[in-house]
Structure 1
Amino acid sequence: MSSKREREYERRRLEKWQERQARARARRRHRQRLGLGIGSAVAVVAIVVVLVISLNRDGGKAAAAPSATPSGQATISTAARTGNGGVLPDKSLAQNRTWTAKVITNKGDITMTLDGAAAPQAVANFVTLAGQGYFDSTKCHRLVTSGIYVLQCGDPTATGTGGPGYSWGPIENAPADNVYKAGTVAMARQSGNGSSMGSQFFLVYADSTIPSDSAGGYTVFGHITSGQDVLKAIADAGTVTVGTTTAPASDVIIEGVETQ
């Protein structure tokens, strides 16, 4: 990377950090006006339960390849931060309309449309968390390049077990044919549990057939409109093995999410 590009990159990171700080200050002032008494620091939840979720279907044994299903966080979350005060946003916030979301990453921007009519709970959840800065500075923790072709993000712990402090269901807008087209944006969940969705989502970079399980399919709530090349470049860069799954070879960090 040239020095000019490095300076531009650092300038952009500083601007995004300043924007996030400004949003955080605005949220704190708003909460104080409502008498909620929330301090300026984000409360850290003491982790007293460690839940390990198997990412394959063989009882948690190590596998040569990652499981061909996107996995979600535990019903009891081990996240170091909560979203929306640990309360599921009301699905009416999706306003029965199409939203635009720009996911700003250190690898480039990914823009997508969100379908608030077909998947109101998923969209209300995503838009609310994005507006609160929940996804800021989080790592996309899983990349699958065999069997299915997805990048999984939205876990603030980057372990595959983190979430916003709540879980929800049922599944919305799952494809009847189990085919998730390139560009699909969908919610991750636990195998066999349609009420285990939280904050984790996955982006499909090549057509993938993901069989339904006992709970059904996976909630599709959006589609990528630009930045598919960014996603493909992340996949082409390869993976590293982390536990029983695979992650991007080079860290993919969500710097912020803008919605409108």
Structure 2
Amino acid sequence: MHWTDGKPGPDPEEAAGPAAAGPESESESAAPESAPAVGAGGGTGRPAVRKAVTALAVATAGSGLIWSALSVTEIPHDSKPPAAACSYTPTTAGPGGVPVHDPARARPYTAELVTDQGRVTIEAFTEAAPCATTSFAFLAGKKYFDGSACHRVTTSGIFVLECGDPAGRGPGAGAAGPGYSFPDENLSGAAYPAGTVALSKAEPGRNGGRFFISYADPQFVMEPDWTPFARVVGGLDVLRRIAANGTADGSADGRPKQPVVFRSVTVHQATRS
């Protein structure tokens, strides 16, 4: 769903009609993965960004988001692992297989995201988000992200770069997925200030390969609906430079004006002491 001046209208990608059906596409009766949206309206669709109105709270209907005019200053810490074991549910064809989380073998890691616009280094929350971090490392090892283009940047209200779809389409028909989904985690007290790396998702409890990176603090507090699984520890300036280039159509929410393509994503696990 696309929003203009607070009124819903067709998403440009959806209006184009169903593309060749790919994993996690609408043709498979699966809701498209979506990063957080700004302005009235919420749920799991992808509204375009409206101008943020300082000192106002915007409440959404149904299962949507609630935004409140408060500042955000802290990134969630890697401290509270969920009680449930990781469960990955096969959906459609992906890079092959599903991740297997083995707590006995899991250890902290950083990942280097090398793009044609620069290098970004992230530190994984392996204790607080074991399922998400296991999935990300699994996909990086399969070179799932290599060659993919980030499909969304926002420059008002929330400030994120969204990536992780090998088809480069983002939400809507024809979007690609990893071939499995997994539940939310690490949502208690979750916040999304500059440097946060969190999962985009199809619907509550159905995460896949897409993720977003906050390059600046949002103008409103975001509801804790997206699993934070890492923090940026290097290259935040690269993200801000990408955002400064704006969107391809000049809007506040769209494809980056200058394409951002992953050359490689490499995981570096900490050695055991």
2:239 counterpart (226, 231, 256):
231
2:222 counterpart (207, 211, 223):
211
**1:132 partner amino acid:** K
- 2:261 is equivalent to residue 253 of structure 1: yes
Matching residue of 1:36: none
TM-score under structure 2 length normalisation:
0.63
Using the TM superposition, give the Cα deviation of residue 224 of structure 1 relative to its aligned residue in structure 2, in angstroms. Answer: 0.7
Counterparts in 2 of 1:221 and 1:186: CA distance versus 1, 3 Å: same
Gaps of 5+ in 1: 1-45, 70-74
- 2:187 is equivalent to residue 174 of structure 1: yes
- 2:143 is equivalent to residue 133 of structure 1: yes
**1:166 partner amino acid:** Y
Matching residue of 1:24: none
Using the TM superposition, give the Cα deviation of residue 158 of structure 1 relative to its aligned residue in structure 2, in angstroms. Answer: 1.1
Contact 2:49 2:157 (8 Å CA) reproduced: no
In 2: Cα distance, 1:201 partner to 1:156 partner: 12
- 2:196 is equivalent to residue 188 of structure 1: no
Q: Deviations over 1:24-75 (max 9, x none)?
A: xxxxxxxxxxxxxxxxxxxxxx837951749664797975749998xxxxx9
In 2: Cα distance, 1:58 partner to 1:219 partner: 17
**1:211 partner amino acid:** M
Matching residue of 1:104: 114
1:5-84, aligned counterparts within 5 Å? 47=21, 51=26, 53=32, 57=41, 65=50, 82-83=94-95
Q: How many residues end up aligned between the 2 structures? A: 199
Gaps of 5+ in 2: 1-19, 53-63, 66-88, 269-273
2:180 counterpart SS class: coil
Using the TM superposition, give the Cα deviation of residue 134 of structure 1 relative to its aligned residue in structure 2, in angstroms. Answer: 0.5
Using the TM superposition, give the Cα deviation of residue 202 of structure 1 relative to its aligned residue in structure 2, in angstroms. Answer: 0.7
Contact 2:33 2:210 (8 Å CA) reproduced: no
- The structure where helix makes up a greater share of residues is 1
Counterparts in 2 of 1:201 and 1:48: CA distance versus 1, 3 Å: closer
In 1: Cα distance, 2:227 partner to 2:51 partner: 21
Counterparts in 2 of 1:138 and 1:242: CA distance versus 1, 3 Å: farther
CA RMSD of aligned residues (A): 3.4
In 2: Cα distance, 1:247 partner to 1:93 partner: 38
1:152 counterpart (143, 158, 162):
162
Using the TM superposition, give the Cα deviation of residue 148 of structure 1 relative to its aligned residue in structure 2, in angstroms. Answer: 0.6
TM-score under structure 1 length normalisation:
0.66
Using the TM superposition, give the Cα deviation of residue 196 of structure 1 relative to its aligned residue in structure 2, in angstroms. Answer: 1.8
Greater displacement, 128-137 / 92-101: 92-101
Counterparts in 2 of 1:54 and 1:201: CA distance versus 1, 3 Å: closer
1:189 counterpart SS class: strand
Matching residue of 2:230: 222
Contact 2:33 2:207 (8 Å CA) reproduced: no
- 2:90 is equivalent to residue 90 of structure 1: no
Q: Deviations over 1:164-204 (max 9, x none)?
A: 111110x221251x5312111111113xx222210001111
